[in-house]
Structure 1
Amino acid sequence: MSAVPELRITLAGVERVVAAGTTAGEALEADGRTVIAAYVNGEPRDLAAEVAEGDDVAPVQIASETGRSILRHSAAHIMAQAVQELFPEAKLGIGPPIENGFYYDFDVAEPFTPEDLKRVEKRMQEIVKQGQRFARRPIDDSEARAELAAEPYKLELIGLKGGSSDDDGSSVEVGEGGLTIYDNLHPRTGELCWKDLCRGPHLPTTKVVPAFKLMRSAAAYWRGSEKNPQLQRIYGTAWESKDALKSYLTMLEEAAKRDHRKLGAELDLFSFPDELGSGMAVFHPKGGVVRKAMEGYSRHRHEEAGYEFVNTPHISKRALFETSGHLPNYAESMFPPIELEGAEYFLKAMNCPMHNLIFKGRGRSYRELPLRLFEFGTVYRYEKSGVVHGLTRARGFTQDDAHIYCTDEQMPDELDALLTFVLNLLRDYGLDDFYLELSTRGDSDKFIGEPEEWAEATDRLRQAAEKQDLDLVMDPGGAAYYGPKISVQAKDAIGRTWQMSTIQVDFQQPKRFGLEYQAADGSRQRPVMIHRALFGSIERFFAVLLEHYEGAFPAWLAPVQVTGIPISDDHVAYLERVADRLRAEGIRVEVDSGDDRMQKKIRNAQKQKVPFMLLAGDDDVSKDAVSFRYRSGEQNNGVAIDDAVAEIVAAVRTRA
């Protein structure tokens, strides 16, 4: 009998000898529940995939980012199977994992109802309990077309061969290296229960899904285009344990309470009038106060850091955005042109081209560099109606936009100082849990410029990021078309991650605009351009802070910092005199002289999340004092007016 051929592979850095035909799961001795897939040479693969000579094999834990993605992808398949069993006429779209969950799109005659989702979830539980096996098989085009002849959207994907993306940026089910189908097989008989065109990988069996829940349904255009049919999308979530699912659902409940749209209405901060159109907000007086405080502090800090303030118009001729490269590369996110006096004008979607014109407006010397230009610039972007979301995804918003022009030699120090400045300013607003993301050039032909320029820019950004002693996560292919970027990712009070500031190194726009400065030796040199948005947009940052604080802004940002509450009408004049002293110190104060009883006035102030309440009755007046009540409900009686004013002023001025 001939010996079984052997292979040499690497497991956890140690070389191992295994028999030919050994699967990744066998090599890892995986239990299929905690280790649910394998990295083979860095790529996730099914546990059933056979290893080859020289492979580097490592486990994929279900509780890891990759493991959750595989879990959710498998849950999407289970959901699609359940839908087609309950609704046989349903045609399949795509079903990718997404952040915290998954979805699948279906072409059905009628939208799904909440009762439909309950039925689908129940059938999913039965499929999970059954333990169907996920089995991968390669297939050629003609075979795939024959097997999926009843699935028109899958046939379209087969025609695309190599993948596409939908409006959310989620990859479709066709990958490189040929087509594959995943069969769901009965655990005992091996009978085919369901199948889908998919690149995988997947869980070993449906039984490995520990916890899931269907969340909602919504309409979605096929492949994100309004020109395509409208499908019905079901969203779900899946987690590595019931406790993890429970924690996520609890977080969602907390997030719903903190929804900035809800708080904005309750606190009278902003609204979205239908007359203006989707994605357009108006700020009410109280919201305007918060916004002014946010902008004012930012302006002060920028002045200290040597920025110069500029202003630019909201509209420009076409040629400007052609020169910058935005029209060829960003046109879908810009509003259609306006015909005026025989020329085409565009609402500006970004400020950088106009800042380039400011730099170019006169001769520049190396002595002026680095030149830091800053603008609160309002821009307009055509976000599709399906993704517009309150202040966080709007069509009109104001960026705190800065562009720094410097020499190549100045760039490392400038990036280092800039990232430190950004992080410290975010901390001043109350965010302090960060990691950094470095977005690099991908294979798409959208990226302009030479690879060597990109390599240099990326390396400089990486060096600056590494000095901050924060986790650095790579985002391959996520760069802007003109250069790589660092994104500051910040966690809020309930653990959600928000992309905040971005810093981009750009060698391309200075070249396209012909920007130059005179160097010390008299030669003409091209500056490096650094793009930087600290808030991203004022509106979005406002929404993030509103949800982070659940509307209870720190005293320095609160629209009303103090409310005076008289015990009776006789005490209104006394509190007005106290309020005048506070106003003289720049404190935003109101005295509630309305007809409500004192307890109702206190409840009203608490609902408005006012940081400080000053109560006054006969005893307080006789002692030249106030009763000091805090937002938490704590109360300190008989506080001398001087002490009360000093405490409030100190709290506001120290941003405590």
Structure 2
Amino acid sequence: ERVRVFESLRERQGQQRTSGTTKQAFSIGIRCNWIGVSKHIDIISNPPTLHVCSVKGALVCRVNGELWELLRPLEADCELQLLGFNTTEGKQKMLHVEQSEAEGDLFSILSPLAHLFHFLPFSPRRCGGQERVLWGGEKEREEWEREQEETRKRDHRRIGKDQELFFFNDVSPGSCFFLPKGAHIYNTLADFIRTEYRRRGFHEVVTPTLYSTALWERSGHWEHYSENMFTVTGDTHTYALKPMNCPAHCLMFEQRVRSWRELPLRWADFGALHRNELSGALGGLTRVRRFCQDDAHIFCTPEQLEEEIIACLDFVRSVYRVFGFSFHCLLSTRPTPCLGEPALWDHAEQQLERSLQQFGERWQFNPGDGAFYGPKIDIQIKDAIGRQHQCATIQLDFQLPIRFDLQYVGGDGETHRPVMVHRAVLGSLERMIAILAENFSGKWPLWLSPAQVMIIPVGGGSESYAQQVVRQFREAGFMADADDDHGATLNKKIRSAQLAQYNYIFVVGEKECVSGTVSVRTRGGKQLGRRPTEKVLASLTHLRDARSNQDDF
């Protein structure tokens, strides 16, 4: 009975799609520069009509910049691009472990089927939990298996445990406990961004964590986001832990009359945020309930907007260059539904497009994926094993300035509405630490490493000198330790330091004590020889302060 109902609803849905499609001829621009004309076609069943010789091997298509299934009928004038396994989109389509299409996903017709599935505790699927992974051939399968093994080796949860960086406990689900070494990475990242803030005219603010629901009702979050917020009751009032900083920054802006001479205002906030993620969605540092963002908001005049966007993009490029990430930008445009006048959206999208063109890095349109309150630029990075991550974002917001009635006095003496920009570079510090741990495979660069220098004394007379070197490097701000285990051999101590991912290992014996030197080797085993301690300290200080990723000096 269920299968019968399913088939009838699928047929009805197909008829509705067909009847809703225009019967007039329309043009199809193929990326191979061929223009075709048809009435109602799809890629699979009508390749001769399209005169497309490269349909074989296509896995997904891009229609006017938007990814479509191959069986989805073309409905209007469009530019069509076929994507095979040799493209990122094709790989994601084919290699993604997903519910089999044979299941016949019923979500789009869920309502008519409710009476058949009301007693089931799980999502209605025709066949159940089939899963599959597809490859283009044996070579692709072997490559996928190598990638999976490499991913397992680089898992940030394993690295966090092995290096004693962090852990989780059920007493606070989804909230990370950062141990001293993990806290060092956490604070170093925050200090890095703070240094950039000072260079770029941002000012850090500190805001409360707990707010009355009156604030969230005013901002609109209570209506649309309350199920993701943690609430507490006290003094007959309901309060909520903040899941974002923007409403508090709007309160700061409105607390006195603002002048155009003050703008742009660039406010940054490292306050703790809390979001009530489903327990099943939690996963290490990549999805947590308590987190911190390098969050900032810019209030500017409309005339200042393009310059501010370009400056934000340059901020992103400068930071990602330090990590060695390549990236590309996505201009996410008006979704349906959205708030605000179409003309306002068009103007804002044009401003973002001009900023991206002037920025000069690779970018593309991402139609319909903007936030309901404004268009945005999402920045996707590629890590060392080719995975894509979206961390940085630059978002325009038309609605909060209206909801909070934010105004400034312009040069003409009249009041005007400021433009608000939401901006993050690292995004969640927790998630960025996970990405970096896996990108570097736990081999942290010197400037970020929680284990920078290990001094190993050889012989009883060298222990005091080893401690002297430790103090010297610690006073210079390095994470330095000495291995004074009398029961271990030199080779074992060196191996232990390498496994602990110390960037540099200094061996000191009688000769080093007398000459004021250290014998230096990298964690990779490369021996750099005996060098004066002062010169080594100066060289490592330079590498650290320059945030260099190189080992030799």
Q: Same fold (TM over 0.5)?
A: yes
Alpha-carbon distance in 2 for matches of 1:291, 1:564: 25
Deviations 1:41-95 (A, max 9, x none): 988576898x99999876554544565577x4xxxxxxxxxxxxxxxxxxxxxxx
Q: Which amino acid aligns with 1:325?
A: G
Whichever structure has more helix as a proportion of its residues is 2
CA contact (8 A) 1:576 1:591 kept: yes
CA contact (8 A) 1:356 1:513 kept: yes
Q: Which of 642, 646, 656 is the equivalent residue of 2:538?
A: 646
Which residue of structure 1 aligns with residue 494 of structure 2?
Answer: 602
Gapped runs of 5+ residues in structure 2? 1-24, 115-119, 549-553
Residues 356-395 of structure 1 aligned to structure 2 (within 5 Å): 356-395=250-289
Offset of residue 240 of structure 1: 2.5
Alpha-carbon distance in 2 for matches of 1:351, 1:48: 41
Would you say 1:34 and 2:34 are equivalent positions?
Answer: no
Q: Which of 365, 384, 388 is the equivalent residue of 1:497?
A: 388
Which residue of structure 1 aligns with residue 97 of structure 2?
Answer: 101
Which residue of structure 1 aligns with residue 166 of structure 2?
Answer: 270
CA separation of 1:624 and 1:323: change in aligned 2, threshold 3 A: same
Alpha-carbon distance in 1 for matches of 2:26, 2:220: 50
Q: Which of 527, 531, 536 is the equivalent residue of 2:427?
A: 536
Offset of residue 358 of structure 1: 0.7
Would you say 1:24 and 2:46 are equivalent positions?
Answer: yes
Offset of residue 540 of structure 1: 0.9
CA contact (8 A) 1:25 1:37 kept: no
Gapped runs of 5+ residues in structure 1? 1-6, 73-98, 108-150, 165-219
Which residue of structure 2 aligns with residue 251 of structure 1?
Answer: 147
Which residue of structure 1 aligns with residue 133 of structure 2?
Answer: 237
Offset of residue 383 of structure 1: 1.1
Secondary structure of 1:421's match? Answer: helix
Q: Which amino acid aligns with 1:300?
A: T
CA separation of 1:232 and 1:281: change in aligned 2, threshold 3 A: farther
Which residue of structure 1 aligns with residue 223 of structure 2?
Answer: 328
CA contact (8 A) 2:60 2:89 kept: no
CA contact (8 A) 1:24 1:38 kept: no
CA separation of 1:52 and 1:26: change in aligned 2, threshold 3 A: farther
CA separation of 1:574 and 1:35: change in aligned 2, threshold 3 A: closer
Alpha-carbon distance in 1 for matches of 2:138, 2:306: 47
Alpha-carbon distance in 2 for matches of 1:52, 1:457: 28
Offset of residue 620 of structure 1: 2.3
Secondary structure of 1:479's match? Answer: coil
CA separation of 1:416 and 1:60: change in aligned 2, threshold 3 A: closer
Bigger Rg, which one? 1
Offset of residue 286 of structure 1: 0.7
Which residue of structure 1 aligns with residue 319 of structure 2?
Answer: 425
Offset of residue 525 of structure 1: 1.1
Q: Which amino acid aligns with 1:550?
A: S
Deviations 1:115-157 (A, max 9, x none): xxxxxxxxxxxxxxxxxxxxxxxxxxxxxxxxxxxx9x84x75
Which residue of structure 2 aligns with residue 482 of structure 1?
Answer: 373
CA contact (8 A) 2:315 2:425 kept: no
Offset of residue 485 of structure 1: 1.1
Secondary structure of 1:435's match? Answer: strand
Would you say 1:655 and 2:551 are equivalent positions?
Answer: no
Residues 158-557 of structure 1 aligned to structure 2 (within 5 Å): 158-160=109-111, 222-223=122-123, 233-277=129-173, 279-335=174-230, 337-428=231-322, 430-444=323-337, 447-557=338-448
CA separation of 1:16 and 1:497: change in aligned 2, threshold 3 A: closer
Alpha-carbon distance in 2 for matches of 1:461, 1:8: 30
Residues 617-628 of structure 1 aligned to structure 2 (within 5 Å): 617-628=509-520
Would you say 1:560 and 2:455 are equivalent positions?
Answer: no
Alpha-carbon distance in 2 for matches of 1:69, 1:450: 35
CA contact (8 A) 1:9 1:57 kept: no
Offset of residue 518 of structure 1: 1.1
Which residue of structure 2 aligns with residue 578 of structure 1?
Answer: 469
CA contact (8 A) 1:44 1:60 kept: no
CA separation of 1:330 and 1:453: change in aligned 2, threshold 3 A: farther
CA contact (8 A) 1:291 1:538 kept: yes
Which residue of structure 1 aligns with residue 22 of structure 2?
Answer: none
Which residue of structure 1 aligns with residue 16 of structure 2?
Answer: none
Alpha-carbon distance in 2 for matches of 1:548, 1:53: 43
Offset of residue 159 of structure 1: 4.8
Deviations 1:360-393 (A, max 9, x none): 1111111110001011021111111222111111
Higher RCO (CA-CA < 8 Å; seq separation 6+): 2
Deviations 1:550-569 (A, max 9, x none): 11111111112111111133
Alpha-carbon distance in 1 for matches of 2:63, 2:376: 29
Would you say 1:634 and 2:526 are equivalent positions?
Answer: yes
Larger mean CA deviation between 640-649 and 375-384 belongs to 640-649
Offset of residue 29 of structure 1: 6.0
Alpha-carbon distance in 2 for matches of 1:53, 1:520: 48
CA separation of 1:513 and 1:37: change in aligned 2, threshold 3 A: closer
CA contact (8 A) 1:623 1:638 kept: no
Q: Which amino acid aligns with 1:518?
A: V
Secondary structure of 1:474's match? Answer: strand
CA separation of 1:251 and 1:457: change in aligned 2, threshold 3 A: same
Alpha-carbon distance in 2 for matches of 1:503, 1:55: 29
Alpha-carbon distance in 1 for matches of 2:245, 2:60: 46
Secondary structure of 2:302's match? Answer: coil
Offset of residue 359 of structure 1: 0.8
Length, aligned pairs only? 511
CA separation of 1:531 and 1:13: change in aligned 2, threshold 3 A: same
Alpha-carbon distance in 1 for matches of 2:72, 2:166: 55
CA contact (8 A) 1:364 1:517 kept: yes
CA separation of 1:574 and 1:368: change in aligned 2, threshold 3 A: same
CA separation of 1:8 and 1:566: change in aligned 2, threshold 3 A: closer
Q: Which amino acid aligns with 2:46?
A: A
Alpha-carbon distance in 1 for matches of 2:261, 2:185: 38
Secondary structure of 1:390's match? Answer: coil
Offset of residue 645 of structure 1: 1.9
CA separation of 1:26 and 1:641: change in aligned 2, threshold 3 A: same
Q: Give the fraction of aligned pairs with identical amino acids, expressed as a percent.
A: 33
